[in-house]
Structure 1
Amino acid sequence: MRAIAYHRYGGPEVLELVDLPTPKVGPDSVLVRVHATSVNPVDWKVREGGLDPLMDAVFPVVPGWDVAGVVEQVGLDTPEFAVGDEVYGYVRKDVLGGGTTAELVAAPVRTLALKPTSLDMAHAAAVPLAGLTAYQALRRLGVTEGDVVLVHNAAGGVGTFAVQIAQALGARVIGTASEGKHEFLRGLGATPVSYGDGLVDRVRAEAPDGVDVVLDLVGGVVGTTPEVGTPDVRVGSITDPAAAELGGEYMWVRPDAADLTALAALIDSGAVRVEVAATFPLEETAAAHELSATGHVQGKVAITVP
């Protein structure tokens, strides 16, 4: 099969198109014919060696954890799926190696769910990691009807999902973003505020009694939480361990089939729409990584696999 892989950590130049054997399919896994994947900031950070202290790498590493495709082969004990099912998932394994930027991927059933029927493959592949991150964080923070939620970096890949999911849970959302992305956030239903000096005053102007929840998706901003929050503010961050010092949580994301199914229902109901900023073919994965690394992408970057 064709795949994008790297034989050592480094910049986008280490990515190359290679031929690899078809992945073996374990008893609780299925083989997915990949139609699309997407790029998350973690992908290029992993490629640079950012997770080396935490996870073993089996080179050549095929990057990517998001997938949308069709089940081509089932394992010995996988009653959840049948050949021909259209699925999507967050295929993070215990080691870095057999990722989703390839024609085929062996995916544990715990990482997959049936694809949202309203989405094409590229848009479905843009959901799993970012959508799960937002969904799981907001659930852990107990977001409920009537809450005022402040989302930092609200126009990014995770932020666009967080804005919409929080509203689906009945919350009002204030989102920080650069001035050029304010109209986009208004279109999602959020109240935009700008980054930088005066942030606390701008948030307080929109929420005089303070916000109930702060979700940090950018880093370096949780220190403002006591000034913008209510006395019982709940705070979580996917980027800054300092959230724990404020009585909050530093969060990661887990593969979860039930949460993927819930996300698919939100998407198919129209409560959540998926933003794809750009799409690249498999051969141009390096360019997709480079675009993601600029930090200026509105939504997600998808990669299609013919």
Structure 2
Amino acid sequence: MRAVTVHSYGSPDRAEITDAPVPVPGPGEVRIRNRALAVHPADTAVRSGLVAALLGAPPFRLGWDAAGTVDAVGEGVTAFAAGEEVIGLSHWFATRNGTHADYAVLPADQLAPAPAGVPATTAAALPLNGLTALQAVERTGLDAGGTLVVTGAAGNLGHLTTQLALARGLRVLAVAGPRDEAELTALGAEFVARGETAVDTLRALAPDGADAVIDTAGLSAPLLAAVRDGGLFVAVRPPAAPDAERGIEVAVHDVRPDGPALAGLAKQVEDGRLTVRVGSVHPLEEVAAAHARLEAGGTRGAVVLEL
């Protein structure tokens, strides 16, 4: 089978298509014939060598998300059968089980039925960002009426975070670029232009400070000024976690694969209650172009590989 492999760190062309054996599902596992795969900043960070100090030397197979058709099941699997459309998440840093290949094998409890009526290219963009957003919002512990700041609110992760927070009844102050104001306010968020005046604007909107921040943009320490004493700062990019002050709890969120929670997200997408945006689609053979597109920045939707 084809697999996206990094043999040496560097530019996007270091993400290469290589031959690999088709994996065999073990007990409790499912083999997926992939139809689409999202490319994430975590993939480009591995390929470029940005996190080389944590990983050591390649080779590595990339990929977190899977979206495709069940091809085979291991012993004891009853929740899924061959031919079913599924999505799933592999925690790459924990397992190094990269999904960017024609086939991927994942534990059955990390899978969910794919949202019906949704292209595989859209479904593929849900697992990592959707579960990260859901778990981060849940981590705040805020009830309806609580005030939450979301940075990078127009990005793939921030957009899902904003939607899920609003659905929970939270007041969302969404920090993003000016071109995203109309979309974010249409969702029901209060728009805050990113930049040097963002914290001042946040304090004007929430004079006592927001209850929590989910920092998907990595703005870090300056944002603490927008959080009330004893509030919560959730960092989804570990290097951007600031030192705590004024009793503010700083939490570094690490996503957890969760099949049932992913199924709930997929149902929301299926019902039109949650929007997943796709910015560009590339054939698997053009994985280097997909990496380059993501690293160029400015995407307002997921970069997806199609098989």
Provide the TM-score with structure 1 as the length reference. Answer: 0.92
SS of 1:123's equivalent in the other structure is: helix
Tell me the residue number matched to 1:36: 36
Partner residue in 2 for 1:278: 280
Deviates more, 1:98-107 or 1:161-170: 98-107
Matched, 1:126 2:106: no
Matched ranges for 1:216-231 at <5 A: 216-225=215-224, 227-231=225-229
Q: Structure 2-normalised TM-score?
A: 0.91
C-alpha distance in 1 between matches for 2:132 and 2:64? 13
TM-superposed deviation, 1:184 = 2.6
Match of 1:290, SS state, is: helix
| Cα distance in 1 for residues equivalent to 2:117 and 2:162 | 20
Which of 231, 234, 239 pairs up with 1:233? 231
User: Are 1:202 and 2:204 counterparts?
Assistant: no
Structure 1 residue aligned with 2:156: 157
CA distance in 2, matches of 1:243, 1:264: 36
Shift of 1:89: 1.1
Structure 1: gaps of 5 or more residues: none
Letter in 2 for 1:75: G
Q: How much has 1:58 moved relative to structure 2?
A: 6.6
Partner Cα separation in structure 2 for residue 223 and residue 201 of structure 1: 11
Secondary structure of the 1:196 match is: coil
Give the letter for the 1:254 counterpart.
R
Kindly indicate whether the alpha-carbon contact (under 8 Å) linking 2:8 and 2:58 is maintained by their aligned counterparts in 1. Answer: no
Take 1:191 and 1:241, find their aligned partners in 2: how far apart are those partners? 24
Kept in 2: contact 1:29–1:106 (CA 8 A): yes
Q: Aligned letter for 1:149?
A: L
Aligned with residue 292 of structure 1, among 294, 298, 303: 294
Give the Cα separation in 1 of the matches to 2:181 and 2:57.
Answer: 40
Aligned residue number for residue 9 of structure 2: 9
> Which SS does the other structure have where 1:242 is aligned?
coil
Cα distance change, pair 30–56 in 1 and its aligned pair in 2 (3 A): farther
Q: CA deviation at 1:55?
A: 4.8
1:181 equivalent in alignment to 2:183:
no
Instruction: Kindly provide the amino acid, as one letter, of the partner of residue 215 in structure 1.
Output: I
Letter in 1 for 2:116: T
Segment of structure 1 superposing worse, 31-40 or 85-94 = 85-94
% identity of equivalent residues: 37
Output the CA distance in 1 between the equivalents of 2:257 and 2:54: 17
Shift in Å at residue 56 of structure 1? Answer: 6.7
Match of 1:105?
104
Q: Is the 8 A contact 2:12 2:292 kept in 1?
A: yes
Separation in 2, partners of 1:244, 1:260: 31
**Count of paired positions:** 302
